[in-house]
């Protein structure tokens, strides 16, 4: 973060965010700065007014603020390892709807680290699963015809298996 002479002073300020049901969230300046979108908005208008965020619900906003507040605090005080553990806990029991709304909020408010974290979490849910299992998890309808599926399987085989990439087996050489 750039060293802004007014940063220390601004830290004392609170930023007012008006969300979808017209509730006002008051957050510390430093916390709000985690969002690139707010950073830009506030650099123009200053911290006096209220920033409208009509497409974010209070439930989601609360989670966003929780994340940003923790990370502001953790920046220099908490070890990377513990931050990772906190991040995992933070997302742990969230249902899909909340998770995805949270992603959209990070998209709108431009909060890179939270978005990356959620994308990683989604990827973790996809890892090591078959297509059918993935569809189960995310309630996706299979709109591929059997011919198309066969076709795609064929394409997949076309490009070589990464894991099967041959290495000279030491065992084979020596035991012979």
Which residues bind to another protein, rule: CB under 8 A? Answer: 96-97, 100-101, 103-104, 107, 115-116, 119-120, 122-124, 126-131, 134-135, 138-144, 147-149, 151-163, 165-166, 171
Nearest distance in Å: CB 170, another protein:
9
Complex with another protein: residue 9 or 104, whichever CB lies closer: 104
Nearest distance in Å: CB 63, another protein:
16
Complex with another protein: residue 5 or 165, whichever CB lies closer: 165
Nearest distance in Å: CB 128, another protein:
7
Complex with another protein: residue 7 or 137, whichever CB lies closer: 137
The CA distances from residue 130 to 106, 118, 124, 127, in Å, are: 29, 21, 13, 9
Complex with another protein: residue 85 or 140, whichever CB lies closer: 140
Nearest distance in Å: CB 99, another protein:
9
How far is Cα 99 from Cα 103, in angstroms, rounded to an integer?
A: 6
Complex with another protein: residue 9 or 137, whichever CB lies closer: 137
φ and ψ at residue 19, rounded to 5 degrees: -105, -170
Is 11 in contact with 30 (CB distance < 8 Å)? Answer: yes
68, with CB counted inside 10 A (0-12, 13-18, 19+), is: buried
How far is Cα 38 from Cα 41, in angstroms, rounded to an integer?
A: 5
Nearest distance in Å: CB 108, another protein:
11
How far is Cα 40 from Cα 46, in angstroms, rounded to an integer?
A: 10
């Amino acid at each position: 973060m750039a060293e802004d002479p007014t940063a220390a002073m601004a830290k004392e300020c609170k930023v007012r965010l008006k969300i979808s049901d017209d509730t006002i969230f008051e957050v510390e300046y430093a916390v709000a700065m985690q969002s690139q979108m707010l950073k830009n908005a506030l650099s123009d208008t200053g911290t006096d007014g209220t920033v409208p965020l009509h497409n974010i619900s209070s439930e989601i906003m609360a989670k966003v603020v929780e994340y940003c507040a923790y990370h502001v605090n953790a920046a220099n005080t908490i070890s990377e390892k513990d931050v990772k553990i906190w991040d995992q806990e933070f997302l742990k029991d969230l249902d899909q709807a909340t998770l995805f709304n949270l992603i959209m909020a990070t998209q709108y408010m431009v909060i890179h680290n939270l978005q990356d974290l959620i994308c990683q979490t989604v990827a973790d849910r996809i890892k090591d699963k078959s297509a059918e299992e993935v569809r189960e998890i995310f309630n996706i309808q299979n709109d591929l015809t059997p011919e198309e599926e066969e076709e795609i399987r064929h394409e997949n085989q076309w490009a070589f298996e990464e894991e099967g990439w041959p290495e000279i087996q030491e065992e084979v050489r020596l035991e012979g």
